Amino acid sequence: MGNRSMRFGVWLPSFTWDDDTWVSARELREWCVRADHAGIDIWVIDHLLTAPGLYGASWLEPMELLTYAAAVTERVKVAPGILVMPVRNPVLLAKEIATLQVLSENRFMLGVGPGWNKQEFDVTGTRIEERGRRTDELLDAVQALLENPVTSYHGAHYQFDDVRLQPFIGEMPEVWVAGGSRVPDPTDDPDIHDTYGYIHPSVVRRILKWKHWLSRCSGTQEWVIRDWSLIREEARKAGDDPDSLVFGHCNFTYFTSAKTRDEAYAAQREPFLRAMGSRRSFAHLCDCYMLGTNADIIARLEELADAGCTYMVLGPVSAEMNQIDTLIDEIVPHFR
């Protein structure tokens, strides 16, 4: 199998459904404990608001849930995936990160992205048109706050002077930058979704700066692999070593015991459409997400590993315990 070694993370199934139900704390704790025992890192999805028609669900608040996850685990990393940066304040975010590093004993990683849901920007006093620039400023400001006992920052969007933040941890956590080529949806607003079939140059620059890429699952796997080649080439052009970059990927899934692809799709259709909403066809979902038999999913993971992917975050769209158990027992062992 060559060098098909990957470390795994799991998106916790922290769904809040539009019928006013949500996953229980007991279930989330059990997922965390099982992941910790198996050495699988814990990731939490971030969406401030519901997005009817865009997703069939929303999610619990990520930083609070990560505090809970840190309390019931001992050794795995915990991370938001992906934190919508521009709707946050840098000083408050830095305080949250420092606190999580203390409570997790330095197991926190920061997954970041610029977001896409316009309403989330509107209600937090920001503008979606500024999302990329705000994301970069926030990262710089948070780094300054975490790495200096007293710091000032003066950017286009964020300014502060002589801030002394406690606890002082002295170090920026590992940063994973999300982004990548995206398959357009039939109902897309072109003023919001501006990355059709290519990875935005600002995202590439962000990846080159922070060294860790978490490719998103809104494009085909072929596009993900193509993006990685482009990122490596841009690193060479910038005089950087492309081998210093880390290629990660995140994706939704639903494991079944089906032996044929058609049987697997039949079992996956309902939970996927519940989680993803109705705007995209099931065929569209199959193009982007990890669907099919477990053998199909393993084959896709092997292809990504062969392309250089060394970190994989998978997110079952159901909180059923057989989902985390299948990941631990049937998927991860192929890549260790």
Spell out the domain ranges in the chain.
7-335
Cβ neighbours of residue 179 closer than 8 Å, sequence gap 6 or more: 113, 114, 195, 199, 200, 203, 206, 207, 213, 215, 216
Strand boundaries in the chain, DSSP class E? 7-11, 15-17, 41-44, 57-59, 78-80, 83-84, 110-113, 151-154, 159-163, 175-179, 212-215, 246-253, 311-316
Q: Model confidence at 1, in pLDDT bands (50, 70, 90)? A: very low
**CATH number of the structural domain 7-335:** 3.20.20.30
Provide mean pLDDT across the span 153-182. Answer: 96
Q: Model confidence at 124, in pLDDT bands (50, 70, 90)? A: very high
> How much is the pTM?
0.94
Specify the pLDDT at position 177: 98
* pLDDT per residue as tens digits for the range 268-327: 999 998 998 877 889 988 988 999 999 999 999 999 999 999 999 999 999 999 999 999
Q: Is the pLDDT of residue 158 over 60?
A: yes
Specify the pLDDT at position 74: 98
* pLDDT per residue as tens digits for the range 281-290: 899 889 889 9
Over the chain, what is the mean pLDDT?
93
| CA proximity to 245, closest of 308, 306, 292, 295 | 308
Listed range (1-15, 210-224, 300-314) with the worst mean pLDDT: 1-15
Q: Is the pLDDT of residue 196 over 70?
A: no
- Please report, rounded to a whole number, the percentage of residues in the chain having pLDDT higher than 90: 82
